[in-house]
Amino acid sequence: MLREVTATRYVEPLHSGGSVPGVVEADDLGTYVVKFTGSAQGHKALVAEVIVGELARALGLRFPELVLVRFDPAIAAGEPHQEVRELHGASAGVNLGMDHLPGAVDLTPEVAGSFDVDPLEAGRIVWLDALTVNVDRTVHSSNLMVWPTLGTVPPRLWLIDHGAALVFHHRWDTTTPGKRYDFRHHALGRYGPDVRAADAELAPRVTEELLRGIVAEVPDAWLAEDAGFATPGDVRAAYVDYLLQRLRLSAGWLPTDFPSRAELADEEAARAARTRQGRPDWLKHVPDLHGRPGVETDGAVHLG
């Protein structure tokens, strides 16, 4: 089961994601990025974080430790923004925390241009995203961190932010396990991901026993709001059954049609040109920082 810690000091909010997670220190002397239960994304985003993140770890992918963080809004009483204080007030109790990676940087298109990723490692990450229907790991929003960036240890890719995965749990009765999704613009498509090799390696390791152990880590309270099921146990069984069915149908959804680096560069140039259309002449030579997510980063891990 996930460890439980208590937040002892509120450090700062992270405005880089729509859910406005916060950095806290805890009674185990760790520092965590906390995604709050009171955010507009709801409990299902937290469920996806746990299931996909713990599955990634079980398959040997680098993913920061998740913990349950008991949070008292009183420790963040000095937060100046009213909307953030309201979020804290709605999140008293148990929330989800991810181990903070100090100094980590986002894998932006600029960073990706000078950072090499092994095709098999890229394939493993793409395969996980395809299995769990994670639609939020694109070239413009990679949800991948490069860490460490200093010292003698070579930098490595770390996965974060899976709140947008498991999209089927938003409409259980209308999605089919074998549905194919568009992963053509996956953040790692430029590295020639060997998805077939990843499927051969990882699929046999995703067993019913493994999935049952992972979904057992999700708190009952985060499953109780799913009105389509009678009990949290029924919801857990639905996740296991769906993922096992999807696993058996991988031949139909395995993504392989990734654009080349040259095609990506052409698409990026075309996108930039479209963005500049209609700008006043004096703006046409100003760098398009706002249209390119990830150009600037605060170096902090975030949950989205």
- Per residue in 194-230, pLDDT (tens digit) is 999 999 999 999 999 999 999 999 999 999 878 789 9
Question: Between 119-131 and 232-248, two packed helices, what is the crossing angle to 10 degrees?
Answer: 130
Q: How far apart are CA 40 and CA 4, in angstroms?
A: 23
User: What are the pLDDT digits (tens) for 78-134?
Assistant: 999 999 999 999 999 999 999 999 999 999 988 988 899 999 999 999 999 999 999
pLDDT for position 280: 61
Q: How far apart are CA 197 and CA 200, in angstroms?
A: 5
Quickly state the pLDDT bin for 251 (edges 50, 70, 90): very high
Instruction: For residue 87, give the H/E element and its range.
Output: helix 82-89
CA-closest candidate to residue 129, choices 176, 171, 161:
161
Strands, sheet with 105-106, edge to edge from the N-terminal-most edge strand: 105-106, 144-147, 156-159
pLDDT for position 279: 61
Which residue did the predictor score with more confidence, 148 or 281?
A: 148
